[in-house]
Amino acid sequence: MRTAHRVEQVRAAEAALMRRLPDGELMRRAATGLAAVCLELLSPAGVYGAPVVVLAGSGDNGGDALFAGARLAGRGAAVTAVLLSPRRTHPGGLAALRAAGGRVLHAGPDDADVLERVAVPLSRARLVLDGIVGIGGRGGLRPEAARLLPLVEASGATVVAVDLPSGLDADTGRVSGPVLRAHLTVTFGTHKPGLLLSPGAGVAGTVHLVDIGLGPELARLAGGPDGPGGGPALYCLQHADVAAVLPVPGRDTDKYGRGVVGLAAGSERYPGAAVLAVSGAVRSGAGAVRYAGSVADAVLAAHPEVLVHRGGPREAGRVQAWVVGPGLGTGSAGEEALGEVLASDVPVLVDADGLGLLAARGPEPLYRDAPTLFTPHAGEAARLLGVERAAVEAEPLAHALRLADAYGVTVLLKGDRTIITEPAAPGGAEGLGRAQGPGGDGAGAEAGRGGAGDARERRVFVNTTGTGWLATAGSGDVLAGLVGGLLAAGLPVVEAAAVGAYLHGLAGRLAASGAPTTAPDVARALPEAWRQVASTATG
């Protein structure tokens, strides 16, 4: 499991660790790891004489960058440090850089002709280290740093962000002003949520984690009574985590034992959505799929194995979970189907038109005994909350949490980085992520910040397996069917959502393989995604 922690958690762990280590040891570890990555980047074309620019701000982030720059200079690179706060530069880092033969340019707010002076080294640079600001940052880059951005972008150099891209909010991934886009981010100790969430992930590039020994401290804090507490702010599944919970039939399992998923979807106007949701459900691990609705013939033509009912969900027969909404329409038939499904006593996934119908009623808790999962994209989430779509896209995590609390449901917010979160007071304490840290509890995420319940209880997952090729009509319907099937197969709601998003993203990659793909092809790639994941468990 990959995990991410908020700045206050990182600071607390850092303080605890520093008490036990010699002065400067943590920065030495960070700079060593950073320099190693940079050397690897420079090596193919040669390190000796390689032009490197270090952008250094006023804090320890600049210190990391300067110490790493000194190491590169020690290996023969031609390093120029550009100091954005010349009077407040990290003294040890600056001294090390000078001692290793690095050049130094002043580029503070009061320095004249800055652009002319830095233009030449930047235009020649093969590598730029962004040590302007790290986890101490607030808001977008300030003008003295922002004015360098066009020069960096025009240089064509590889940009390596130190800890995180300067100007990016570490906790939320929000970009509220100018930000230095990186090809690669070398982050220290733990991932920061903003590197994994949208839109931050889009400016961080590939993220490389350098171990500086914070892990045990973070785990200790998670269980302790003092400090920020809480487990990781974010969990990010890997193959082995998914393999551990995939529903695999035993020798004595029959199809009903594997779970039956019901789908209330499709309409004369949108029959395809039902077919696509079914195509995900039949490959989900459930033993059987029931369809209830008006486009049974289209469903049967594509999937003869489905049990169909040409009426409402209530009379369709027993299921272990319902999916309601894809292509359902928002008329009275849709309204009726939604009402019947929500009145059932099994887990329900509400998608697409089902969410549209609920949005029209406005935010109110659903008060169901069984779990309810919403699977909106940003536009649907915005309608459910009565906010602009752009607001959801700017801060998806905060809005996913608000949505979960306003309706009392688990939320899977779709996007390039899909977020899964439960409402503030989740039932049960078992499951993925629960075993992390001595506290055994889940994540804190932004819950406290959003004023949303007990920050220590709530788990938040982010899915990183997706690809832009999944932005194709109907791929969300496939996801709804898949997750519904996982629910029917018995996975707890958060696990079903997180595992479904993971397999769906992977299937999207396999189906696309670098070229356009279609929703049916994504569904057809699900078994291969499953096999790839499962093979990590069997070796």
Ligand X SMILES: NC(=O)C1=CN([C@@H]2O[C@H](COP(=O)(O)OP(=O)(O)OC[C@H]3O[C@@H](n4cnc5c(N)ncnc54)[C@H](OP(=O)(O)O)[C@@H]3O)[C@@H](O)[C@H]2O)[C@@H](O)CC1
Ligand Y SMILES: Nc1ncnc2c1ncn2[C@@H]1O[C@H](COP(=O)(O)OP(=O)(O)O)[C@@H](O)[C@H]1O
Binding segment toward K ion, per CB under 5 A, in 71-79, 126-134, 219-227, 468-476? 126-134
CA–CA dist 149, 147 (Å, integer): 6
Residue nearest to ligand Y (CB): 476
Residue 458 identity (one-letter amino acid): R
* 137 is known to lie in a ligand binding site: yes
| Residue 14 interacts with K ion (CB under 5 A): yes or no | no
Q: Residue 189's binding partner, choosing from ligand X, ligand Y, K ion, none, with beta-carbon cut-off 5 to 8 A by kind?
A: ligand X
Binding segment toward ligand X, per CB under 6 A, in 57-65, 197-205, 328-336, 500-508? 57-65
Among 166, 294, 320, 464, binds K ion (CB under 5 A): 166
| Residue 64 interacts with ligand X (CB under 6 A): yes or no | yes
* 139 is known to lie in a ligand binding site: yes
Q: Dihedral of CA 26/32/33/35: which sign?
A: positive
Comparison of 11 and 239: residue with beta carbon closer to ligand Y: 239
Q: Residue 135's binding partner, choosing from ligand X, K ion, ligand Y, none, with beta-carbon cut-off 5 to 8 A by kind?
A: ligand X
Comparison of 58 and 475: residue with beta carbon closer to ligand X: 58
CA–CA dist 261, 275 (Å, integer): 14
CA–CA dist 274, 269 (Å, integer): 11
Question: Which helix H or strand E contains 279, and what residues bound it?
Answer: helix 271-281
* 183 is known to lie in a ligand binding site: no
Residue 369, phi then psi, degrees to nearest 5: -75, -40
Paired residues of 209 in beta bridges: 187
* Tokens at 11, concatenated: 């600071």
CB of 388 to ligand Y, least distance (A): 17
* Tokens at 19, concatenated: 């008490």
Answer for the pair 141, 168: CB distance below 8 angstroms, yes or no.
no
Comparison of 59 and 505: residue with beta carbon closer to ligand Y: 505
Among 58, 80, 155, 344, binds ligand X (CB under 6 A): 58
127-146 residues near K ion, rule: CB under 5 A = 130, 134
- Peptide bond before residue 520 is cis, with ω within 30 degrees of 0: no
Site string for ligand X, 180-219 (x = CB under 6 A): --------xx----------------------x-x-----
Answer for the pair 401, 233: CB distance below 8 angstroms, yes or no.
no
CB of 140 to K ion, least distance (A): 13
The full length of the chain comes to: 539
Tokens 């997706």 correspond to: 466
Instruction: Give how many residues touch ligand X by CB under 6 A.
Output: 31
CA–CA dist 34, 66 (Å, integer): 11
Q: Dihedral of CA 7/10/16/22: which sign?
A: negative
Residue 171 identity (one-letter amino acid): D
Comparison of 128 and 162: residue with beta carbon closer to K ion: 162
Among 38, 96, 141, 162, binds K ion (CB under 5 A): 162
CB of 471 to ligand Y, least distance (A): 3
Closest to 523 measured CA to CA, from 535, 510, 537, 533: 510
Binding segment toward ligand X, per CB under 6 A, in 38-46, 127-135, 252-260, 320-328? 127-135
* 226 is known to lie in a ligand binding site: no
Packed helices 352-361 and 378-385: angle between N→C axes, nearest 10 degrees: 20
The CA angle 13-19-22, to the nearest 5 degrees, is: 115
Question: Which helix H or strand E contains 72, and what residues bound it?
Answer: helix 60-74
| Residue 228 interacts with ligand X (CB under 6 A): yes or no | no
* Tokens at 231, concatenated: 């487990």
Residue nearest to ligand X (CB): 134
Question: Which helix H or strand E contains 350, and what residues bound it?
Answer: strand 348-350
Question: Got the DSSP string for 405-432?
Answer: HHHTSEEEE-SSSEEEE--SS-S-S-ST
146-165 residues near ligand X, rule: CB under 6 A = 162-163
Distance of CA 128 to the CA centre of its chain: 26
Q: Would you tell me which residues interact with ligand Y (CB under 6 A)?
A: 377, 414-416, 418, 466-468, 470-471, 473-477, 479, 504
Comparison of 69 and 356: residue with beta carbon closer to K ion: 69
Closest to 88 measured CA to CA, from 132, 123, 45, 129: 132
16-55 residues near ligand X, rule: CB under 6 A = 26-27, 30
* 481 is known to lie in a ligand binding site: no
* 466 is known to lie in a ligand binding site: no
Comparison of 136 and 339: residue with beta carbon closer to ligand X: 136
CB of 149 to K ion, least distance (A): 13
Q: Residue 470's binding partner, choosing from ligand X, ligand Y, K ion, none, with beta-carbon cut-off 5 to 8 A by kind?
A: ligand Y
CA–CA dist 225, 287 (Å, integer): 45
Answer for the pair 160, 37: CB distance below 8 angstroms, yes or no.
yes
Among 79, 141, 321, 411, binds ligand X (CB under 6 A): 141
Residue 351, phi then psi, degrees to nearest 5: -130, 165
Q: Residue 30's binding partner, choosing from ligand X, ligand Y, K ion, none, with beta-carbon cut-off 5 to 8 A by kind?
A: ligand X
* 272 is known to lie in a ligand binding site: no
CB of 145 to ligand X, least distance (A): 5
Q: Residue 130's binding partner, choosing from ligand Y, ligand X, K ion, none, with beta-carbon cut-off 5 to 8 A by kind?
A: K ion
Check residue 508 and report its DSSP letter. H
Q: Residue 416's binding partner, choosing from ligand Y, ligand X, K ion, none, with beta-carbon cut-off 5 to 8 A by kind?
A: ligand Y
Residue ranges in contact with K ion by CB under 5 A: 130, 134, 161-162, 166
- Which residues define the annotated binding site for K(+)? 61, 130, 166
Residue ranges in contact with ligand X by CB under 6 A: 10-11, 14, 26-27, 30, 57-62, 64, 132-139, 141-142, 145, 162-163, 167, 188-189, 212, 214
